[in-house]
């Protein structure tokens, strides 16, 4: 079975690794709180026990998810500015407006902060393009036409 990877910027990988380490270091405290709540008696009507159990379960679930992401991620560091790569900052022109998008990995996308995943329609269409290229992006209800006006790392 071949191993599939997803790509991410160094910044995104560092953020996910930091979150994993923080949760891992806080987990013993959550276990301690669950043990203390369990010692209070009847678990069926013990709100503190139910809360502590949910907190530990959600922490363990998030840890498993983050571990999978970390294990199946390759960090992509843009090497040049001739072509758009994961990690590139791309200035595009739409009609008369110019704005900059940051092409990032799937798990670090944040459209409100102009971070678009390389797997999104916009990010995927921009990959491997150069300054001056007209990029047509087919969305469900319309076509967007960007002109690439700048690439930086």
Q: What is the pLDDT along the chain (153 residues), one digit of tens a residue?
A: 566 889 999 999 999 999 999 999 999 999 998 888 888 776 667 788 888 899 999 999 999 999 999 999 999 988 888 999 999 999 999 988 999 999 999 999 999 999 999 999 999 999 999 999 999 998 888 999 999 999 998
Q: Are residues 70 and 116 located together in one domain of the fold?
A: no
Residue 133 CA neighbour count, 13 Å, CB half: 17
At 2 the pLDDT is 63
pLDDT at 40: 77
Q: How many domains does the chain have?
A: 2
pTM: 0.82
CATH of residue 139? 3.10.50.30
Residue 16 shares a structural domain with residue 66? yes
In a domain, 145, yes or no: yes
Residue 20 sits in a domain whose CATH number is 1.10.287.180
Domain of residue 35, residue span:
6-75
Q: Are residues 44 and 98 in the same domain?
A: no
Q: Are residues 112 and 63 in the same domain?
A: no
In contact, 112 and 102? CB cutoff 8 Å: no
Q: Are residues 68 and 103 in the same domain?
A: no
State the Cα angle at 56 between 105 and 33, rounded to 5°.
Answer: 140
Task: With respect to residue 1, please indicate whether it lies within any of the assigned structural domains.
Answer: no
Please say which residue of 51, 75, 99 terminates a domain.
75
């Amino acid at each position: 079975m071949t191993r599939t990877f997803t790509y991410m910027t160094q910044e995104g990988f560092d953020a996910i690794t930091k979150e994993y380490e923080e949760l891992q270091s806080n987990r013993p405290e959550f276990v301690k709180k669950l043990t203390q709540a369990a010692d209070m008696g009847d678990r069926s009507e013990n709100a503190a026990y139910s809360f502590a159990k949910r907190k530990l379960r959600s922490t363990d679930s998030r840890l498993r998810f983050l571990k999978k992401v970390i294990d199946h991620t390759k960090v992509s560091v843009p090497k040049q500015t001739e072509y758009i790569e994961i990690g590139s900052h791309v200035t595009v022109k739409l009609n008369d407006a110019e704005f900059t998008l940051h092409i990032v990995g799937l798990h670090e996308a944040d459209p409100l902060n102009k971070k678009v995943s390389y797997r999104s329609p916009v990010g995927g269409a921009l990959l491997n393009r150069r300054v001056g290229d007209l990029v047509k992006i087919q969305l469900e209800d319309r076509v967007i036409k960007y002109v690439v006006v700048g690439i930086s790392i």
